[in-house]
């Protein structure tokens, strides 16, 4: 037996060496792609990770398969797109629709003219029948993804000709078209000629998918790690193809694993577009990978998504019903320290309830600067002007000694990169506000009006969202230093359930998401109407997690419902909301959700950046399809 030991060991080593040395058809050591030309393939991260039921492509079934595996970016289409940045040719794009939606006077009817000459990948022409079938199927089968939204709104549909659909609505709805307008996703149009033969669309996997986008499914991993899409030969017969020929012949959406592996994969040029990494990963790539680029050329690199992380109060909690208490807590926050702790300084701050991204700084942040500077807060003892318009610049100055030339000096670029102003830290004013609300300080600790310790739980998500967790921890620390018994409460996987149930005092999350490229705020604001606020303990519909009822806000929302999407009045009303939210502080806005999307220029050039902001580079957005027509192989 002992004699056999060397033999066994040699055999094992030989097998190992063979597996390593045998020339595989994979071009690179890490086995990125087999049988595909790397210089014709764009490899993107699918942040959904490994897909459990990989062979499911029926996106109209709830929570069934992957969405951002290329399905919604490359293979599906709908009536309109609004770009979160500037767009290829303006933010509004008529996609399957030939023109903007046309409403009747009381918004009970919407007419859509469809584009001609668009074909499904199996050669069948796209017509109004597909649109009608998409709606009718989901109304008929109540458990589909958009069943509820459609059955609550659509009364009837007419198709006067194959390229026109008239929607008759159950009640006035000036934003009905938003259901068919992509901001990340929307109601995708299903192929009637496929689904009409299906008995139960909830159990139909739609594999292999018939595509309406410029790409068709080429291959996928049954274990859910990768999906490869191939450019259609008739790409001209698609809406994106009518803009131009997509550069990559193949798109590979992959699960590259945790952040460290994404960084390694891009350094090895095996991952062209990283969806997101931690700030530290971004800094590593900026330093060590010459071919990697991000949204901003230098610090803070990240793309600000039209999403606004904030400290959200549970206003059904007695402690936070008082505006004075909410404002006191806001004035105890040092946003510079929060920016450093969370994004290592790479944050774009916002004092108002609108993300500082896309066209919003032009519509809201910029025009409201004077109002913010003049805004006065009554602490009970005096009036203060809490706004400091220079905080964005102060953050840039803080970073300059360590990052030097990477930090811009131009005030406009600083405002775009780090944000404009925020609230000055003011413990004295916070003391006065708390005292105004009846709170008292006993020794070094604050007590509520009824003499109990002032305890605040700050719910954070935990390691799955480290940046926001660090922001929450820093805020709790700042409150603790002031004498408030603030505790960080890590929710991990329970965050969604707890947020919905209102099981928090305060939570780091977001209840504001916008189009980014459009002034209209109804995307999130409509759900803030008091008619939708749940009773304490009952699940709250997204997005009014703060459960904040306010008659003035209700009036603004109702007025927005009455005006058209592009009406300048909606902008005025939007600004009214901003002013009201500043006065009332139902949430403390912090910063935009900055996404560290990193793009490798080894094989492809023409990625969207702050200098050429034609779309959002974040690859799970449906809008990221605009990237395909602008990417060119590196010569």
Partner 1 sequence: MRSYAKHIARRFAQFLLVVFIGINLTYVITHMTPIDPVEQSIAAVTSFGNTSPEAIAMMRQSLRELYGLTGGPFEQYINFWRRIAIADFGPSLSAFPTPVSALIARALPWTIGLLVAATLITWTLGNLLGGLAGYYHDKRSLNVLAVIAIGLHPVPYYIVAFVLLVMFGYVWPLLPIAGGYGMNMEQGFNVPFVLSVLKHSILPALSLMLIGLGGWFLGMRSLVSNVVSEDYVVYAELAGVDRRRILGSYVMRNALVPQVTGLALSLGAIFNGAIITEQVFGYPGIGSLLVSAVYAGDYGLVLGVTTVSIVGVSAAVLIIDLAYPLLDPRVRVA
Q: Smaller CB distance to partner 1: residue 420 or 556?
A: 556
Q: Smaller CB distance to partner 1: residue 146 or 423?
A: 146
| Burial class of residue 347 (count of CB atoms within 10 Å of its CB; 0-12, 13-18, 19+) | buried
132, HSE (Cβ side, Cα atoms, 13 Å) = 19
Q: Which of positions 131-170 make contact with partner 1 (CB under 8 A)?
A: 142-143, 145-149, 151-152
29 binds partner 1 (CB under 8 A): yes
Buried b (16+ CB within 10 A) or exposed e, 260-290: eebbbbbbebbbbbbbbbbbebbbbbbeebe
| Contact in structure between 252 and 33 (CB atoms under 8 Å) | yes
13 binds partner 1 (CB under 8 A): no
- In terms of DSSP bridges, do strands 109-113 and 164-169 run parallel, antiparallel, or are they unpaired? antiparallel
Helices and strands (H, E) in the chain, number of each type = 19, 29
Q: Smaller CB distance to partner 1: residue 442 or 496?
A: 496
Q: Which of positions 233-252 make contact with partner 1 (CB under 8 A)?
A: 252
Helix axis angle, 335-343 to 466-481, nearest 10°: 150
Candidates 10, 13, 14, 34: give the one binding partner 1 (CB under 8 A): 34
- In terms of DSSP bridges, do strands 80-82 and 181-182 run parallel, antiparallel, or are they unpaired? parallel
- H-helix or E-strand spanning residue 226: strand 226-231
Please tell me the count of residues contacting partner 1 according to CB under 8 A. Answer: 86
Q: Which of positions 197-216 make contact with partner 1 (CB under 8 A)?
A: 202-203
- H-helix or E-strand spanning residue 165: strand 164-169
- Least Å distance, CB 22 to partner 1, is 6
| Contact in structure between 112 and 167 (CB atoms under 8 Å) | yes
463 binds partner 1 (CB under 8 A): no
| Cα–Cα distance for residue pair 610/497, rounded to 1 Å | 36
Q: Smaller CB distance to partner 1: residue 103 or 528?
A: 528
What's CA 635's distance to the chain center, in Å? 33
| Cα–Cα distance for residue pair 435/28, rounded to 1 Å | 66
- Least Å distance, CB 13 to partner 1, is 12
| Cα–Cα distance for residue pair 383/385, rounded to 1 Å | 7
Candidates 89, 158, 223, 566: give the one binding partner 1 (CB under 8 A): 223
Candidates 100, 113, 193, 225: give the one binding partner 1 (CB under 8 A): 225
Q: Which of positions 544-573 make contact with partner 1 (CB under 8 A)?
A: 544
Q: Smaller CB distance to partner 1: residue 287 or 412?
A: 287
Q: Smaller CB distance to partner 1: residue 375 or 532?
A: 532
Q: Smaller CB distance to partner 1: residue 221 or 397?
A: 221
Q: Smaller CB distance to partner 1: residue 124 or 149?
A: 149
30 binds partner 1 (CB under 8 A): yes
Q: Hey, CA dihedral for 398, 402, 406, 410, is it positive or negative?
A: positive
| Cα–Cα distance for residue pair 605/607, rounded to 1 Å | 6
Buried b (16+ CB within 10 A) or exposed e, 524-547: bbbbbbeeebeeeeeebeebbbbb
| Cα–Cα distance for residue pair 59/146, rounded to 1 Å | 10
- Least Å distance, CB 448 to partner 1, is 27
| Cα–Cα distance for residue pair 496/29, rounded to 1 Å | 40
Candidates 133, 183, 365, 575: give the one binding partner 1 (CB under 8 A): 183
287 binds partner 1 (CB under 8 A): no
| Burial class of residue 157 (count of CB atoms within 10 Å of its CB; 0-12, 13-18, 19+) | middle
441 binds partner 1 (CB under 8 A): no
Candidates 24, 104, 373, 535: give the one binding partner 1 (CB under 8 A): 24
Q: Smaller CB distance to partner 1: residue 250 or 364?
A: 250
22 binds partner 1 (CB under 8 A): yes
- Least Å distance, CB 216 to partner 1, is 15
Q: What separation in angstroms does the CA of 160 have from each of 139, 164, 167, 289?
A: 21, 6, 11, 57
Q: Smaller CB distance to partner 1: residue 136 or 148?
A: 148
- Least Å distance, CB 352 to partner 1, is 22
Q: Smaller CB distance to partner 1: residue 65 or 70?
A: 65
Candidates 179, 278, 590, 618: give the one binding partner 1 (CB under 8 A): 179
Write the interaction track for partner 1 spanning residues 62-101; mark x where CB under 8 A is met and - where it is not. xxxx------------------------------------
DSSP 528: G
- Least Å distance, CB 504 to partner 1, is 13
525 binds partner 1 (CB under 8 A): no
- Least Å distance, CB 524 to partner 1, is 9
- Least Å distance, CB 533 to partner 1, is 9
- Least Å distance, CB 452 to partner 1, is 26
What's CA 80's distance to the chain center, in Å? 18
- DSSP string of 541-594? PTT-TT----HHHHHHHHHHHHS-TT-HHHHHHHHHHHHHHHHH-SEEE-B-EE
Tokens linked to 373: 């500077």
Write the interaction track for partner 1 spanning residues 250-269; mark x where CB under 8 A is met and - where it is not. --x-xxxxx-xx--xx-xx-
Candidates 33, 243, 285, 521: give the one binding partner 1 (CB under 8 A): 33
Q: Smaller CB distance to partner 1: residue 63 or 635?
A: 63
Candidates 10, 11, 12, 438: give the one binding partner 1 (CB under 8 A): 12
Q: Which of positions 43-62 make contact with partner 1 (CB under 8 A)?
A: 49-50, 52-53, 56, 61-62
Residue listed under structure tokens 């929302």: 557
| Burial class of residue 90 (count of CB atoms within 10 Å of its CB; 0-12, 13-18, 19+) | exposed
Applying CB under 8 A, the span of 340-348, 445-453, 479-487, 522-530 interacting with partner 1 comes to: 522-530
Phi and psi based region of residue 482 (left: phi greater than 0; alpha: psi -120 to 50; beta: remaining): alpha
185 binds partner 1 (CB under 8 A): yes
- Least Å distance, CB 2 to partner 1, is 5
Q: Which of positions 479-518 make contact with partner 1 (CB under 8 A)?
A: 493-494, 496-498, 500
- Least Å distance, CB 6 to partner 1, is 11
């Amino acid at each position: 037996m002992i004699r056999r030991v060397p033999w066994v060991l040699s055999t094992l080593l030989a097998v190992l060496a063979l597996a390593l040395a045998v020339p595989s058809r994979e071009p690179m050591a890490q086995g990125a792609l087999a049988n595909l030309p790397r210089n014709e393939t764009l490899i993107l991260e699918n942040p959904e990770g490994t897909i459990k039921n990989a062979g499911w492509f029926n996106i109209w079934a709830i929570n069934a398969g992957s969405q951002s595996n290329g399905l919604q970016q490359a293979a599906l289409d709908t009536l309109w797109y609004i770009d979160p940045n500037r767009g290829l040719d303006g933010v509004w794009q008529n996609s399957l629709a030939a023109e903007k939606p046309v409403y009747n006077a009381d918004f009970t009817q919407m007419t859509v003219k469809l584009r001609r000459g668009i074909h499904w990948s199996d050669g069948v022409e796209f017509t109004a029948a597909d649109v009608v079938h998409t709606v009718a199927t989901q109304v008929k089968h109540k458990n589909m993804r958009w069943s509820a939204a459609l059955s609550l709104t659509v009364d009837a549909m007419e198709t006067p000709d194959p390229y026109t659909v008239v929607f008759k609505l159950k009640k006035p709805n000036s934003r009905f078209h938003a259901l068919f307008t992509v901001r990340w996703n929307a109601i995708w149009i299903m192929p009637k000629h496929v689904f009409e033969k299906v008995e139960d669309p909830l159990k139909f996997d739609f594999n292999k998918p018939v595509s309406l986008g410029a790409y068709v499914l080429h291959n996928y991993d049954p274990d859910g790690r990768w999906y490869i899409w191939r450019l259609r030969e008739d790409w001209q017969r698609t809406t994106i193809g009518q803009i131009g020929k997509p550069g990559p012949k193949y798109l590979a959406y992959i699960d590259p694993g945790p952040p460290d592996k994404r960084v390694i994969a891009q350094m090895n040029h095996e991952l062209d577009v990283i969806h997101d990494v931690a700030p530290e990963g971004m800094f590593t790539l900026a330093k060590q990978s010459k071919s990697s680029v991000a949204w901003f050329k230098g610090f803070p690199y990240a793309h600000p998504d039209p999403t606004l992380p904030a400290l959200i109060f549970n206003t059904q909690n007695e402690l936070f019903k008082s505006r004075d208490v909410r404002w006191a807590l806001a004035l105890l926050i040092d946003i510079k320290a929060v920016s450093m702790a969370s994004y290592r300084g790479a944050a774009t701050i916002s004092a108002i309830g609108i993300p500082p991204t896309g066209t919003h700084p032009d519509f809201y942040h910029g025009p409201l600067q004077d109002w913010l500077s003049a805004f006065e807060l009554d602490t009970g003892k005096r009036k203060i002007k809490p706004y400091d318009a220079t905080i964005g610049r102060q953050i840039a100055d803080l970073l300059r000694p360590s990052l030097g030339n990477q930090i811009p000096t131009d005030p406009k670029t600083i405002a775009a990169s780090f944000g404009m102003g925020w609230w000055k830290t003011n413990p004295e004013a916070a003391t006065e506000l708390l005292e105004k609300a009846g709170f008292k300080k006993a020794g070094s600790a604050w007590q509520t009006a009824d003499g109990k310790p002032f305890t605040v739980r700050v719910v954070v998500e935990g390691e799955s969202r480290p940046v926001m967790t660090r922001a929450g921890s820093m805020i709790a620390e700042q409150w603790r230093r002031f004498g408030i018994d603030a505790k960080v409460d890590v929710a991990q996987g329970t965050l969604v359930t707890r947020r919905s149930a209102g099981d928090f005092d305060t939570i780091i999350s977001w209840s504001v998401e916008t189009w980014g490229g459009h002034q209209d705020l109804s995307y999130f604001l409509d759900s803030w109407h008091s008619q939708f606020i749940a009773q304490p303990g009952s699940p709250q519909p997204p997005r009014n997690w703060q459960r904040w009822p306010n008659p003035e806000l209700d009036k603004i929302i109702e007025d927005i419902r009455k005006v058209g999407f592009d009406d300048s009045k909606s902008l005025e009303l939007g600004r009214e909301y901003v002013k009201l939210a500043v006065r009332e502080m139902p949430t403390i806005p912090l910063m935009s959700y900055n996404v560290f999307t990193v793009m490798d220029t080894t094989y492809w050039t023409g990625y969207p950046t702050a200098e050429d902001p034609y779309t959002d580079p974040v690859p799970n957005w449906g809008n990221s399809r605009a990237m395909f027509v602008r990417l060119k192989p590196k010569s």
